[in-house]
Structures are given as structure tokens and as C-alpha cells.
């Protein structure tokens, strides 16, 4: 394709994705515009599916594995149902970069044959379809990461023998666990955006409200899962890229601390930048599905294969300790304690987010837990440090990869191109600043033991994921609510709460403030109506087992209270 414009290359790749969808699964009738049909989840997408396909695809990962590992459902029927629903999802919101359904069905058939012969599943994820963000290399499948210049290459390198032959370490482990891989999902080029858009598939929309974004950079994962085209998948997170699309699509998403899930062999932006490490995390419609995937991967001992993975197996004793605390609280004994930060001192939140936090606070109080107002070290300082890290190379990485094709960056991409690369001394100084901020924050966290009444610091922190719900295109301009977690390398989850409601979520008197200390974009209740609202649940570093256990418990309780308007 030498000499062909980048526009035509992108169009050809876009068409090849559609061509890979079987004819029987293509939508022959036109989809109504978003102004006529905002929501394409639920009954809308179900019209194209059989009852059994609906039953399968609306069962969570834990439930699916219970069926496939006992032979009640075959891996083939489960895989085919999700391939069908994923194909529909892509045609509705443009969420896939790669489809390899035939290979997936072949793998599923082999799993069924194994089960028939041995009467036992291959592993804890036997027959479970798992989707992947388009950073993971899968043999025989392309990885573009949203760059036109990566088409028909290995990460932009022409005639590289690794093209189509490499597999990321996580991919290898998922196969060992019995997962069936069948698609890779859309990302913004550079991965540096809270929205998902590139010159290959265009813009990935929010399935619940197609006037809005699905989030980013793991946006394709969020959109696909919102339409139940996947029961579980993996994204990456350097500034919120797992949690943002999870929150924007009414899903759970885990941002673990660095080193727990293997990153070895995955494509990335600014590869080698080590001040804030990108991490891999699972996304799913239920909290227990996150636990299933996270625990299964740790069972593969990734530290034996990834030099940056920590030798830290799943700690069931932490789960049991946390459950014991929960049971004591239920019995009227010692309580749990949680911080709540409704405002970080930088960006005021829109009314739906404020209401979501009120729901969480009410739930915690109803359960008898202590709620502490969060007054941490300056989050403006954290946001400034994160910005410096993202611009560390002066934009060299993005300029190179955009330059391979000559394409331009989409306007939604967070600009890292200031033309000035940091020196080694400047990077060292920045690392010192980061370490000092981390120390300030850990000191503050421990100081809350004086406020909780439990003799312990807070067990977790609830705060916004973003100032807004699923955002209006080109309006994602502040990553401070998620970025501070990456700077600290804390454990964090997105937890779904409610949906924006134009009748309830009206602008408050102080929400028009707009100066250097208070960022507030125009809130349009009509446009945001129906948008998913999630919150962030933060724990200290390497507290994944504790936070997942608490998320399973609190997520159910929050969902119960969210049914009431507050």
C-alpha cells in the first residue's frame, strides 16, 4: 500500500474489520441516528439475538464459568453468542479493532473436546470469552493501537519478523487458564485521551447515550461490555484508562498497583517511561468477575515470566480478614471507615456526580460505617506532576508514530508535544518530587486513624472518577481525579452507581464557577440524561484483595440505595 494516503489506509483497515464480520450477523437495515435512538443497550440490541444468546451474554463471567466448567454450556455455544453480540456492538458504536471469530471458535471446539475426553475444565476460565484492548499482541492478529502507521507492521516497524507472531505474556497466561480470545477493542492513538477516537475506526460512542463518549483509553472495552458483547476483558491504565471507561459504561474496573498483572510483551506509548507505570487491569459488569480474572492470572505466577511482575500471589488471608471486618460490622460490632472526597480543590463536579457521591455516603451511613471528610495534600500539585510526566519526552513518541503515516492527532488527544525533552537530571528531580508527594499522602492516610474511631486509618476512599458522567465529545479536559492514583500507585476501582437524570440533576448555584482554581464546563442536563454515573474507590498500594472484597460488598449495597432518588 506504499504511496497510498493515510486516509485511504485507515478506510481500508476500517472496512476489513467490517468484512471480518460474518454476513449473517451484519445489520442490513440502517441504525437510527443518536438523536432518535440514544440508548442501544438492553432491548435494542436484544432484538437481533435469540433467547439463548441473550441468556448466555447476560450472564456474568463467574456464572459462565460455572456452566462451561460443568459441561452445561459448551465453549462453542458461549463463544459464538459473544462473537455475535460483539459483531452487533461494533456496528452500533464502532468499538472493535480486530475480530478473529473463526480462530476463537476453533479454540472453543478444542476446549469442548478436551472436556469431553478428560471430564475436567482446562483451567479456572474454561470457555470464557475474554476481550482485549488493542495493546496486546495475539498471534495471527494485527496490533495498531489506533495508529494508521502501524497497519501491516510490528508496532510501526516494517518487515519485522515479529509481525503476527508475537503474543503478550498476559495472552499466553489467559490461554493457559482456558479463556477464549476473540476480539481486540478500540483505543485512541497515543492512548492519551479520556475519549476513544482514531483515524481507523473513527469515534467510539457510549452505548447508553450515543451523544456521549465511551471514555478512554480502554474505551472499546467499556463500550463492548456495556452492550454485553464481552463478559470480561483487560485494559490498561496510566491516568485512568481502565477506570474512566468502566465508570462511563456502568461497569466495574480495577486499576491494580504496578507489578501485579504482567505487562511483558504489550505495546505501549512512551515505552520505558518509568516515573508513572502503565498497569493492566480487568473490566467487567460485576465485581466478582474482576476477582475471578485477577486471582486466575496471579495463579499463573507471572513473576516467573515478567521481570517487572512482583512475586506476590493471591492472598486469601487478606480476603478472609476483610470479610471478618464486614461481618463484624453487620453484627453491630466494630465498624469500617471510609473517606469521601467530593471536591479535589481543582474541579467542581456536575450534579449527577454529586448525587452519585451522596448515594454512596448514604449507603455507608446506613450500614453503620464511619465517614471521614477527605482533606489530603494538594491535588493540584499531583495534577501538575502527572502533567510533567506525560510531557517528559516533549512529544517525541507521538510525533514519531503519527509521522509514520503523516496522520494528524485527533483533537481529543491530550497534548504531550511541547517540543522540550527533559534531561536526565530533570527526570531525576521529578522522581524526587513524586516520592515526596507520595510520602505526604501516605502520612495523611495514616493520620486518619485519629478520626475513624476504629483504631485504623480509613479502609478506603470514595471520590469522583471525573467531574462529569460519560462526557460530551471533545470535552474531556481534566484527569486529576484519576491521575493522582497513578502518581501514588494506589489500588483503585470504578464502581457503578446510577444514571444522570435531567429531572433530578439540576445545576446548583455554585456550579457556574470558572476560574483557575475551579474548573467547570457547561453542564447540559438534556444531553447528559441517561449517562452512566460511577465513582472511584481507592485503597493504598497493593491492596487489591482487600479492595475487591470491599467492592463486592459495597457495590451491592450501593446499587440497592441507588434505586431511590437522592
Q: Would you say 229 and 195 are in contact if contact means Cβ atoms under 8 Å apart? A: no
Bind-site residues: 191, 217, 238-241
Helices (H) and strands (E) in the chain, counts: 19, 15
Marked catalytic residue, from 13, 94, 131, 133: 133
Per the annotation, the verdict on 447 as an active-site residue is: no
Closest CA to 554 of 384, 401, 330: 330
Q: Which residue has the cell 503515516?
A: 405
- 277-296: string of b/e by CB count within 10 Å (b at 16+)? bbbbbbbbbbbbbbbbbbbb
Alpha-carbon distance of 128 to 520, in angstroms, equals: 42
Q: Is 133 an annotated catalytic residue?
A: yes
Cα–Cα dist 473/468, whole Å = 12
Do 90 and 17 meet the contact criterion of CB atoms below 8 Å apart? Answer: yes
Q: Read out DSSP for 216-247? A: SSSHHHHHHHHTTS-S-EEEEESSSTTHHHHH
Q: Please report, in range form, the residues annotated as the binding site for substrate.
A: 191, 217, 238-241
For 148, phi then psi, to 5°, come to: -60, -35
Among 69, 94, 131, 217, the one annotated catalytic: 217
- Specify whether the CB–CB gap between 74 and 116 falls below 8 A: no
Q: Which three cell numbers stand for residue 111?
A: 476446549
Residue 365 vs residues 153, 360, 450, 554: alpha-carbon distances, Å? 55, 9, 19, 12
Residue 230 annotated in active site = no
- Active-site positions? 133, 217, 241
Amino acid at each position: 500500500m506504499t504511496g497510498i494516503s493515510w486516509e485511504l489506509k485507515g478506510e481500508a483497515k476500517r472496512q476489513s474489520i467490517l468484512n471480518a464480520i460474518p454476513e449473517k450477523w451484519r445489520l442490513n437495515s440502517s441504525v437510527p441516528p443518536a438523536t432518535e435512538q440514544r440508548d442501544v443497550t438492553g432491548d435494542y440490541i436484544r432484538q437481533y439475538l435469540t433467547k439463548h444468546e441473550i441468556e448466555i451474554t447476560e450472564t456474568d463471567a463467574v456464572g459462565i464459568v460455572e456452566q462451561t466448567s460443568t459441561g452445561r454450556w459448551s465453549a462453542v455455544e458461549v463463544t459464538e453468542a459473544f462473537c455475535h453480540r460483539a459483531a452487533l456492538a461494533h456496528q452500533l458504536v464502532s468499538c472493535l479493532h480486530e475480530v478473529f471469530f473463526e480462530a476463537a471458535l476453533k479454540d472453543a471446539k478444542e476446549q469442548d473436546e478436551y472436556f469431553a475426553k478428560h471430564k475436567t475444565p482446562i483451567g479456572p476460565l474454561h470457555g470464557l470469552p475474554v476481550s482485549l484492548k488493542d495493546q496486546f499482541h495475539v498471534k495471527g492478529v494485527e496490533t495498531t493501537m489506533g495508529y494508521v502507521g502501524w497497519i501491516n507492521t510490528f508496532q510501526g516497524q516494517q518487515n519485522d519478523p515479529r509481525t503476527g507472531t508475537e503474543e503478550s505474556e498476559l495472552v499466553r497466561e489467559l490461554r493457559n487458564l482456558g479463556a477464549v480470545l476473540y476480539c481486540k477493542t478500540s483505543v485512541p492513538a497515543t492512548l492519551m485521551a479520556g475519549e476513544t477516537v482514531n483515524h481507523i475506526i473513527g469515534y467510539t460512542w457510549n452505548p447508553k447515550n450515543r451523544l456521549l463518549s465511551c471514555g478512554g483509553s480502554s474505551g472499546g472495552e467499556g463500550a463492548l461490555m456495556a452492550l454485553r458483547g464481552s463478559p470480561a476483558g483487560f485494559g490498561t491504565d496510566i491516568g485512568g484508562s481502565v477506570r474512566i471507561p468502566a465508570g462511563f459504561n456502568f461497569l466495574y474496573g480495577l486499576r491494580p498497583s504496578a507489578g501485579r498483572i504482567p505487562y511483558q510483551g504489550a505495546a505501549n506509548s512512551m515505552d520505558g517511561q518509568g516515573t508513572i507505570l502503565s498497569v493492566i487491569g480487568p473490566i467487567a459488569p460485576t465485581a466478582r468477575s474482576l476477582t475471578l480474572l485477577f486471582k486466575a492470572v496471579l495463579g499463573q505466577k507471572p513473576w516467573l515470566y515478567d521481570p517487572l511482575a512482583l512475586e506476590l500471589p493471591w492472598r486469601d488471608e487478606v480476603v478472609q480478614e476483610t470479610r471478618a471486618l464486614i461481618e463484624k460490622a453487620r453484627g453491630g460490632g466494630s465498624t469500617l471507615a471510609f473517606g469521601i472526597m467530593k471536591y479535589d480543590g481543582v474541579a467542581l463536579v456536575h450534579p449527577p456526580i454529586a448525587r452519585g457521591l451522596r448515594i454512596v455516603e448514604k449507603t455507608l451511613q446506613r450500614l453503620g460505617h464511619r465517614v471521614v471528610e477527605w482533606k489530603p495534600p494538594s491535588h493540584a500539585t499531583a495534577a501538575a506532576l502527572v502533567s510533567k510526566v506525560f510531557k517528559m519526552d516533549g512529544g517525541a513518541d507521538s510525533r514519531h508514530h503519527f509521522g509514520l503515516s503523516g496522520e494528524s492527532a485527533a483533537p481529543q488527544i491530550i497534548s504531550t508535544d511541547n517540543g522540550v525533552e527533559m534531561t536526565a537530571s530533570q527526570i531525576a528531580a521529578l522522581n524526587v518530587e513524586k516520592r515526596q508527594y507520595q510520602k505526604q499522602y501516605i502520612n495523611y492516610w495514616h493520620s486518619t486513624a485519629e478520626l475513624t474511631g476504629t483504631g485504623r486509618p480509613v479502609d478506603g476512599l470514595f471520590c469522583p472518577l471525573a467531574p462529569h458522567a460519560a462526557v460530551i465529545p471533545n470535552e474531556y479536559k481534566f484527569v486529576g481525579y484519576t491521575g493522582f492514583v497513578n502518581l501514588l500507585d494506589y489500588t483503585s476501582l470504578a464502581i457503578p452507581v446510577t444514571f444522570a437524570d435531567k429531572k433530578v440533576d439540576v445545576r446548583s448555584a455554585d456550579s457556574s464557577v470558572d476560574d483557575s482554581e475551579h474548573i467547570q464546563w457547561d453542564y447540559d442536563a438534556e444531553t447528559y440524561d441517561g449517562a452512566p454515573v460511577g465513582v472511584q474507590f481507592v485503597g493504598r498500594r497493593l491492596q487489591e484483595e482487600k479492595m475487591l472484597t470491599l467492592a463486592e460488598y459495597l457495590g451491592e449495597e450501593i446499587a440497592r440505595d441507588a434505586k431511590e432518588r437522592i
